[in-house]
Amino acid sequence: MAASLAAFPPAHCCSALQLNQRKVPPERIHGCFFTKRPFKQPEFSPSHVTCCSLRSVVTLSESKSQSTNDRDTEVRRLCEMGDLKSAMELLLDSRHSQLEMKTLCSILQLCADLKALPDGAKVHEIISASNILLDALLGLKLVFMYIKCGDLRNGRMVFDVIQKENIFLWNLVMNEYARIGEYNECISLFGQMLESGIEANSHTFSCILKCVAALGSARDGKKIHALVIKMRFDSYNAVENALITCYSKCKNISLAQVVFDKMLDRDVISWNSMIGGYVSNGLPEKGVHLLRQMWFSGVYMDLATLVTVLPACAQMCFLLQGRVLHGYAIKCVRGEEITLNNSLLSMYTKCQDLDSGVKIFSKMKKKSVVTWTAMISGYVEGGQFYKALRLFEVMEEEGVMPDLYAVTTALHACACSGSLEHGKQIHDYIIRNGLELHLFVANALMDMYAKCGSMVDAESVFNNMEEKDLVSWNTMIGGYSKNSLPNEALSLFSQMEDLKPNSVTVACALPACASLSTLEKGREIHGHILRNGLFSDCYVANALVDMYAKCGALVLARLLFDHIQMKDLVSWTVMIAGYGMHGQGRHAILLFNEMRKSGIEPDEVSFIAILYACSHSGLIDEGRRFFHIMRYDSKIEPKLEHYACMVDLLARAGRLTKAYQFIEKMPTQPDSTVWGALLCGCRIHRDVKLAEKVAEHVFELEPENTGYYILLANIYAEAEKWEAVKKLRERIGRQRLRKKPGCSWIELKDKVHVFFSGDRSHQQAKKILSFLERVNVRMKKEGYISNKRYALIDLDDSGKEEVLCGHSERLAIAFGILNLPSRKPIRVSKNLRVCGDCHEVAKFISKMVGREIILRDSNRFHQFIDGRCSCRGFW
DNA sequence: TACGACAGAC
């Protein structure tokens, strides 16, 4: 594209914007607005050509017999009447006598009008066989016929061999290339045309600007703009309007606005183009504002105006304005019903007025695939996924072929409802109809599989894609992150070579860092965010604060939080939750109150965060107060998560009976998390009897979760009820359940070192165990008795000590102490809750070596400094 | 012998 444009004659004043200080054409000065043709503009004159050809016909015909002349007249008469069949018969009869050029032109014209390609080709054949000279006019007619009949290949073949002095001929061929999407070929022809000295006209510029718009390069748009001004076509509305559209499609809305502002007599298309530019560039409010200006300037809205501005109303949920436009349409706008109804239907459903959308849909006599898609999408928007998918089936039953939009919408319905099976059926349909290679379809397929939890299927689509865009990568990275596959997410993120991560990419990758607690990788992404100015994106800023909080860098998280200019509810919630998981309940409460003062109302998620923070800091009264505020001030009906937090709060504080009664009074059926919270409390306060009662509820609700069996086993072990432990282990064995192996990890330079319980495979295993042995000796010397209860296995004491010594978190901490520089804190993460004995050991080590240890377990953070832990026993 | 605006999707 750039190469072909570089071949254009130089536009002497380089910048299109500078050039736009145009001269007023003389006809305007004289007050005549009817002719807008710039002076010196060579235009093709039909009358001139007719005269020439008539003259040549006369010369050619002089020697012909009277009968040929009659036949010519007859063929032309038949052509005028539209009787192609008879005209062709007569033409074939006259095979051996040459017909007049004018007659051949008439018949080709009729073939073009009737799109009769075989007849047209036959005429071409006769012309070739009769050795008639293919002059400019006959050549043009042939090209015209072929193109009108949709045979560009043959049209181009004729075009290549004939004289090309006629601008109409060039425009004809170029327009066809633009129509079928061969924009580069069209632009290349434009270059050839200028080189051969043919001057472009307004139609040429409309066509070229359309191609530049489709290719999306504002730079090329400016080059053409400069040429438009140089050749004085900047007073043509069609060209100016095409320029507005071109700049808007190239995402340079300010240049589009410059063109629009300088126009002297804007027509309805100029207004529509500018409104459409705003809407498609994500500026719907400007679009609606311009509509008002258009109205006050006295230009009447037409069908295209409504179809352009209704999506803007939809985007901004301007239902009232949408209704007003609907009323106007009924009264004043005539035109194709289907297009307008599609826009209205979409507007209503996007403005949450599904009923009005359904009403329009059911009243529509003629429906296109767009109509069906808009209605399916409306149901998805309204959360009625089943109806959406059923409508997709009905559409097929009615014989409407789904297109790209329809299948992506149906896939979206599957994604939102988690219907993997339905999604797979649509995938089959897509394959059967050869749509799977389309970028948007493949992206929608991956999104569907990711949201339905099948990353294996998503991967298979991703790996088979011929072309991938940023959305494809973001969908996969986000899919891995949300499906608890953070390693895969970060691995894919690091494979992005050709494409530059955008704000969505980093917002998808950061939760993976948060989940793995990989602070170094998170910092690296933070660097990318700063270098590319992505922090202003609220999603990015929130994900960054969350990442730092979850990687144990709470101070840094707060620092960044304070730097967010426009804090939204998520920003506050993330920070409150951060304080909560670090056991800083008081800070969480301060922030929660500050948020409300700033005018942001908490939602159910922020209440979970504050209740969690209270329970992890032992703030019972405060927790109860927030629960009350949520129900009675904020009028939010508590969900299971809120109840679980309240049970946790009461149980941790030792009010086990109260917690039990609280569960019994719940208006909804408690789930395993609610009972599980009480079970944890039973462990902390060593209530074996209640634990057994509670555990049965938990086992019934979630029989596959080994974590709860282990929890009860812990409770028995701590009470030294070894017989009960044995029975429970037998039960686990009978049910063929496997304990999730404990694992901890620590980052060192660019590598994450993973340790499993009893793991001796690490290359530094010897060094680590010897360090832990030294710790053990020191601890014993200082009167520490190892808390063998936590080993959970009924062995003799020395055996238990060995098992304790091999707990994964302990190995990771030892590895950190031995390898990290002394000023750096030791950051370890564990997939399960920290073992009680390891918790004691971590406290001891922090004092013994004078290092800060930050341990994140599956529940919260423990920050060990100088022999103390930030959790103060609330874990 | 034509040109410019317009609905639904990840």
Strand partners, A745: A754, A829
Task: Say how far A499 CA is from B9 C1', in Å.
Answer: 23
For every residue of A687-753, DSSP letters joined together read -HHHHHHHHHHHHHH-TT-HHHHHHHHHHHHHTT-HHHHHHHHHHHHHTT--PPPPEEEEEETTEEE
Give the model's confidence band at A56: pLDDT under 50 very low, under 70 low, under 90 confident, else very high: very low
User: What is each CA distance from A32 to A28, A181, A231, A262, A266, in whole angstroms?
Assistant: 5, 38, 21, 19, 16
CA A415 / C1′ B4 distance in Å? 39
Round and report the angstrom distance from CA (A407) to C1' (B9).
8
Q: Is residue A730 predicted with pLDDT exceeding 80?
A: yes
Predicted local distance difference test score (pLDDT) of residue A812: 94
Judged by C1' against the alpha carbon of A448, the nearest nucleotide is: B10
Tell me what pLDDT residue A793 has: 47
**Do A556 and A575 contact (CB within 8 A), yes or no?**
no
The Cβ of residue A111 has, within 10 Å, a number of other Cβ atoms equal to 29
Kindly report which amino acid residue has its CA closest to the C1' atom of nucleotide B2: A203
What are the tokens at A348? 């209503």
pLDDT at A11 over 70: no
Q: What would the pLDDT profile of A807-822 be if each residue is shown by its tens digit? A: 899 999 999 999 999 8
Q: Assess whether pLDDT exceeds 70 at residue A579.
A: yes
Q: Closest nucleotide (CA of A273 to C1')?
A: B5
Residue with CA nearest B3 C1'? Answer: A203
Buried b (16+ CB within 10 A) or exposed e, A792-808: beeeeeeebbebbbbbb
pLDDT at A505 over 90: yes
Distance of A1 CA from B8 C1′ (whole Å): 31
Spell out the SS3 assignment of A129-177. HCCCCCCHHHHHHHHHHHHHCCCHHHHHHHHHHCCCCCHHHHHHHHHHH
Say how far A172 CA is from B1 C1', in Å: 9
Comparing every residue's Cα with the C1' atom of nucleotide B4, the nearest one is: A238
Give the pair of three-digit tokens for residue A11: 């536009």
Distance A869 CA to B4 C1' (A): 71
pLDDT in tens, A827-855: 999 988 888 788 889 999 999 999 999 99
pLDDT band at A260 (very low <50, low <70, confident <90, very high): very high
Residue A211 CA distance to nucleotide B8 C1' (Å) = 24
**Shortest CA–C1' contact from A141: which nucleotide?**
B1
Nearest nucleotide to A169, CA against C1' atoms: B1
Torsion of CA A282, A351, A604, A571, to 10 degrees: 10
User: What contacts A796, CB < 8 A, 6 or more positions away?
Assistant: none
pLDDT digits (tens, 9 = 90+) for A369-383: 999 999 999 999 999
Average pLDDT rounded to a whole number, residues A780-790? 67
Rounded to the nearest integer, the mean pLDDT of chain A is 87
- pLDDT above 60 for A215: yes
Lowest mean pLDDT among A109-118, A127-136, A418-427: A127-136
Q: Which nucleotide is nearest to A339 (CA to C1')?
A: B7
Closest C1' nucleotide to A210's CA: B4
d(CA A244, C1' B6) / Å: 15
- Listed in sequence order, the residues at least 6 apart from A370 whose beta carbon sits closer than 8 Å to its beta carbon are A338, A342, A405
Q: Which residues contact A161 (CB under 8 A, 6 or more apart)?
A: A134, A139
Q: A853 by DSSP, 3-state: which?
A: strand
Write down the pTM of the prediction.
0.77
Report residue A454's pLDDT band, with 50, 70 and 90 as the boundaries: very high
> Residue A87's Cα: distance from chain center in Å?
58
Q: What is the pLDDT of residue A63?
A: 47
Give the pLDDT score at A38.
35
For strand B, give the nucleotides within 7 A of a protein CB: 1-10
Q: How much is the pLDDT for A144?
A: 97
- Nucleotide B6: nearest residue by CA–C1'? A304
Residue A213 identity: A
Which CB contacts under 8 angstroms, 24+ apart, belong to A868-873?
A868/A843, A869/A839, A869/A842, A869/A843, A870/A582, A870/A583, A870/A584, A871/A583, A871/A616, A872/A583, A872/A617, A872/A618
